[in-house]
Structure 1
C-alpha cells in the first residue's frame, strides 16, 4: 500500500515515515501543497496524510481540489476516492468541521499517538482490497485482522462483531487484565454503553465458540475480583505478539529520528528564547514574534510524538501566548521566559521513546493509555519500585514520590485518582499529609489508602480517624493489593459518573463544575493566566416545553449538551448549571477568545433543525454572558455574578447573542436573575 504524506515539518514527516514503513507501507513525502498535488497527478496512492497548514497550497484547499478532481474523474491517475487523513495542531470542533466538509475522511490532532494513527490508517485502508495486516496469534489461535478470520488449529470460528472486538482487544494486549468497565470503554460507544452484564454475556458466548473449536474452556480466564485476560500458555515467558514486536520496532525507529533531529529541536527552542529575551526588553519585532509563534506551533505538534507530553503542552501554552497578533511586552515576557525555560529543561531530558526502546520484554508495561493515575508517597525506594511493577501492567499510571516535602506540587501536577501513603516518613508523616488533603476543598474527596508496616490498633484507628479509605499492611501481598486498588478505582469511577455527570445532557453537573472551576481559579492565580467564564441560557425554552412537550424539551437539552461537549477543548469545563442554563470555563482564554468561541457555537446551533412529535421543524438559540478572571472577579461567585449580568443584557438586547462583561454594568441590580 502506498501512502503520500504532505507535511512541511521535516521532523513530523520523518517520524510518520518511520512509523508507517515499520508497518510495511510504501511512503512518499511532499513538503508543500503544490508538490503534493503534482505527485497525486503523476502517481497512484492508497491514502493521503495531509497537514492543514502548508506553504503554497494549504491542506484544506488541496483536499477540496482532490475531491473536485475525483468527482469529475479528471487529472488523477485513478478514478476511485482516495482516503484523506488530515493532520493539524488545531483541535476546535469548528476546525474539524471545516476539514471534514472539505472532503477529508478522518482528522487527527497533533501531537498524535503512533498506535492510534496506525489504527486510523488501517481503518481507512480497509475500504481497499489489498491491505496486509499482521496476524495475531495466541497458542493455536490465529486472528487475521485484514479478513476478520479466526481459526483455532484447522477450524474456523464464526464470531459476532462484538466477539471479534473482544478477541482482538485481548490479543493486542495479551498479558493485560481488563475489568468489565475497561472493556465497556473500548468496545461500546459512549452513547450506547450497556451494563456490565453485557460484557459477561459476550465473554460467555466467545468462550463457548472457542471451546467448540477445540480451545480450552478457560482460554479467556477470569481473574476473580478484577476482570478477564487470555490464559497464559507454556511459552508465555518468551512470547512476543506481533503487536508488541511492531511497537518495539516503532519505538526504536522513533528514537533514531529523535537522534537525527535533536539539534533542530534545540534551534527551534533557541528562537523562543530569543523572543522571550526581546519581549523582556519590550523590543519584540513582528518578524521574530511570527517566527516564534510558528516554531511553538511546530514543537507542540511534534514533541508529543517522541514522548515529551509535558514539552508539547508547554509549547502549546507558548503558542497561545503568542497568538492573535497581540503585542508581548515586559509583563507577558516574564511568563514567556518561564515557559521557555521549562521547555528547554524538558527537551534536555531523554525522550520516552528512547527509554522505552531500550526496555526488554521482561519490563511488562503493557498499556500506554492509563486507566487511572495512582500517586504513591513512601520514603522507601524499593516499595515505590515494587508498586510500579505491580500496578503498571494493569493499565495504571503510577507517580512515585520519596520526599513528602514535595507532596503538594506533585499532587497538583499529576491530579491522581488514588493516593497511597506511608504512615512514618521523615519531615512529614502520612497522617499529616492525609489531614492536609482532607482539609482542602479541592482534594477532600480524593480516595486515600495507607500502606504501612504499623498494624497496631492505635495506628489503624489513627489513619481512619484522619480520613483514610483503606489500610493495607506491609509486606505487600501483590494479588491482594492489586485487587483492592482495582476494585476501589472501579467504585470511584462509578460513583463519580453518578455524582458528577448530568444524566440527561452527559456534561458535568453543577457540583463537579464548581470543583473544577475552583481548581482553575487557583491555577490562574498561581501562574498568572486568564480564566474565561461563560453562562449560557437557551432562549424561550419554556415555550418549547409548552408547545411540544417535555420529551421534546429533553431532546433539545440532550442535543445541546452534545454540541457543547464537541465544541470545546477536552480540558474546558462544560456543565449544566440547572434547567436550561449551562456554564463553560476556559482556562488560559480571555473574554474575547470566549466570545469568539461561543459565537461559533451559536452559529452551529442555529443551523440545526429540531423536530417535534407532530413533525414541526423549529430552531433554537441561546444568549450568553462572558466574564474573565481576574479583571471581572477573583472568585467563582463574583465571576458568575458579572457573567450573569452580561447574560441579562444579552437577553434584554433581543437574545441570540453573546456579550462580554465589559458591556454590562457591574451594579448590585445587575445581578438580578433574568
Structure 2
C-alpha cells in the first residue's frame, strides 16, 4: 500500500471527524486529546511528519481526563489548521509490507542486547532511545526482581545497573548475577546517582567493569559502551571454551563446521551434526532457581563428554541448546550415540528444595551430502529435525529428511492489535499478514477497537500463543488497565504484551513495565522496526 493511500485515509478521517464535531454543540476535552494522540501516532507511522509535529505541539494544550466542553469556535482554532497541513504536505513512499524469507526472518537477532535495570523511567526512556539509535537492542527492568528475570531468560550482552532500586539494592542484584555474568563475559556498568566512595569500591571489588555517575553525559556513555563491546569482541575472539559448561563455544562451532565441510569437499568423508535442546529448561529455572539450572547444564555437558570420542566436537550452541559434530559418522550411527546420551541423562536424578526431578532433551541430526554442503543449511536441517522431536513429544531424536520441510511445530500464534485508531489497526494487520515466523503452524491476525471489546471476546485458548500489541491510551478502559487484567488472568508463558505508547505519557510506561509488559514501542513507529522487535522477543517465546 502506498503512502498516497494512507495519506488519503488520514485526511479523510480527520475531515470526517471535524465535520461531525462541528455539528455538535460541544466536544469534551478528552475526546480532543485522544483525537490528537491517535493522529500523532498514525501520521508519524505513515510518514506525515508535519502533521505529526503539529499534533505533538497541540496535545499539551488538552488533557486526557478532562470533561470540559469545547465549542466549535474554541476547538476549531487548534484543529482546523490540520486540514491545511494535510492538503499541503508532500508525499513519500511508504515501506511495502514485509515478506521475510521462510526460516530466515529473525534478522534482528545479531543485534547486541543491553539490559537497563533502573527505576528512573525518564532516564530509561532517554537511554533506550539513544542506544537504539546506535542499533543496540534494549530491554528494560524497573525493579531488581524484573531485572533478574530478564537477565536469566535473555542473557544480555551488557547490563547497565542502578544502585538504588525500589525492591532491593543494585549491590544485592550484583551479588546474584556477578558469577554468571563473569562466566558468560557480560560487562556490567553501574549507572547511578550514588557517588559514595564505599559503594564504588564495593561495586568494583565485586567485578563491575565501570561506574558511571549521574547525571550522564550521553556522548561519553555511548563511547564507553562501544569501547566495552569492542573489548568483549576481542575476548570472544581469543576464547573458544564456554566457562560454565566446559563445552566449546559458538566461535569454535563455526571453525569446526568450516573445517569439516572443507575436509568433505576434499576427501568425501562425511560428518553428522546433532543439535540437542534441554526440554522445559525454563521450568527448571522457574521452579528451582538459576543456580540449579546451571548445575543441570554442567551435568548434561559432563555426560556428553563421557559419551563421545576424542575426535568428536561438543559445543554450546546457545542457552540450553548444544551441538555435537561427529566426523566419519552417518546419521544412523550418530543417532545411536545421541540416544545413548538421552537414556543416561533422563535416568539421572537432580535434587532441589527437598524435591527430586529429572530432565530430558530433544535431538535433531543431519549429515553433510553432495547436495547440501552449506553450513547454514546444515544447521537449518538439524534445527528442523530438532523441532520435529519437540513436536512429537520431546525426549527423542529425529533424523533430518526432506519430508520435514512440510512439518512445522504445532504452534498457533495469534497477533492481536488493540487500538482505538482504525488506521493503525489496518496498517499493522496488513503488514503482519505476510510474517512467517519459524516453527509456527498457523498465524492468526485479529484486532479490537477498545479494551472491553477485546477482553469480552473469549480471545484466549490455552493451546495457543499470543502476541498482543496494546495501545496505552484508549477510551473506556486504557491499555494499562487491560494489561492488568491480562497479567492477572492468563499465564505469562503464553502471552507476550507490547505496549504502544506516546512519548509524553511516562505514567503508562512506568505502570506497564511494572505490570509485566514485555516491551514498549513509541508512536509513531516504523513497521519494519516493529516487526524486528517482535521477532526478537518471540524467538524464545515460541520455543
TM surpasses 0.5: no
Alignment TM-score, normalising by the size of structure 1: 0.26
Alignment TM-score, normalising by the size of structure 2: 0.32
Bigger relative CO (Cα 8 Å, ≥ 6 apart):
2
